[in-house]
Amino acid sequence: MPGTTTGLQLPADLKSLTAFRFFAAFWVFLFHLRSRIDHDDTWFWAVIDNGARGVDFFFILSGFVIFHVYEPQIVAGRFSFWRYMIKRFARIYPLHLAVLCIFLLLAVAGGNEVHNLIPSIFLLHAWGITEGLVLNRPSWTLSAEMFAYLVFGVLVMRRPATWMLAVACIVTAVAVHFVALKAGKTAFLHMTWDYGSLRIIPLFILGMLLRRLCPAVPKPIAAGMGVLGLVGLLWTAGAGMMGYEILVPFMMLIVAGARLSDQSGLPTNTKPMVYLGEISYSIYLIHILVIQIFLDYLPALGVPVTPWPVIGLALIAGSALTYHLIEVPARRWINQKAAGV
């Protein structure tokens, strides 16, 4: 296939990219926490104010990793759309359903009306059909991810060349940008329940494009990109820049992380950091629940408000539990059942 690179040109296990997922998820957590706590007007919290951009980092990273995993199968003609979608469903849906049930029970117990439950169940709550963010509010991204998975499955049937990915990225970015403008937003990076399903597409394709180009980047240059990307991200976020410019350091960090994932001594390649990355989906999906437990439910019982670093540690501990008790067993069970069909 013209313009193709295989997964063998990068480490099979992209450790640094896995670790990056933790930082992105924790950034989103702090972003949602900051409005609930008293904090100083410092550079740190200025960076946290841009924590919603962690979602866009996830979207680019998702396209990169999915293409990294499946392109060898695509090239060899062994890609199965059915098996691929089952694996994607098994990856995201069980924990979503479990947390959704908890939010539903809490709403009923609190005497609150439950709205837009059906879109949440069927992962349609990023298509502008709900009344804002509903129940487990960050879960709109799962609706977007499932749509991107479908688009990917269809797109790779034609085995796109690198130039096709570049054109697709530009065309979809322009199109979705105009959709965002029509919705009264300054950029598609701010679309969530209101067509966040479209927001992901140019970012996901951008991740695929980076995966194609990444192996050509020499490691010394990748290391420099990593430093520049980190500095650029902290400067951009700290300066309150919430537009498309923040995508540049994201791209540099992802390329650097992929190229350097087999470098010993790099902190993001250590087992603790990789493990935190592995439980990052749980961190992302339960963080609103954990915030409510510590800042709403426990204080209502007379428990003093917990300092935010302790809430963060509790979130990590809780995420480890949901990862091992729900995520992994459910994923394994669904994949085994699907394999037997």
Digit-coded pLDDT (tens) for 117-142? 999 999 999 999 998 999 999 999 99
Question: Does residue 9 carry a pLDDT above 80?
Answer: no
Report the Cα 233 to chain-centroid distance in Å: 17
Query: What is the DSSP secondary structure assignment for residue 326, as one 8-state letter?
Result: I
Helix (H, G, I), strand (E, B) or coil at 79: coil
Q: 264 exposed, middle or buried (CB, 10 Å; 0-12, 13-18, 19+)?
A: exposed
Looking at residue 41, its pLDDT comes to 87
Written as six digits, the tokens of 84 are: 């691929």
Sign of CA dihedral 185, 188, 194, 195: positive
Question: Does residue 8 carry a pLDDT above 70?
Answer: no
Looking at residue 2, its pLDDT comes to 44
In angstroms, what CA-CA distances link 285 with 64, 182, 190, 204, 316?
21, 30, 19, 20, 12
Q: Which one-letter amino acid corresponds to residue 162?
A: T
> Please, are residues 75 and 1 in contact by the beta-carbon 8 Å criterion?
yes
Alpha-helical runs (H) found in the chain: 15-34, 43-48, 54-76, 81-109, 117-121, 140-155, 162-182, 196-213, 219-238, 247-259, 271-278, 280-292, 298-300, 308-322, 328-339
Question: Does residue 208 carry a pLDDT above 70?
Answer: yes
Q: How confident is the model at residue 341 (pLDDT cuts 50, 70, 90)?
A: low
* Residues contacting 14, CB < 8 A, separation 6+: 65, 68, 257, 258, 261
Question: Does residue 207 carry a pLDDT above 60?
Answer: yes
* Residues contacting 234, CB < 8 A, separation 6+: 47
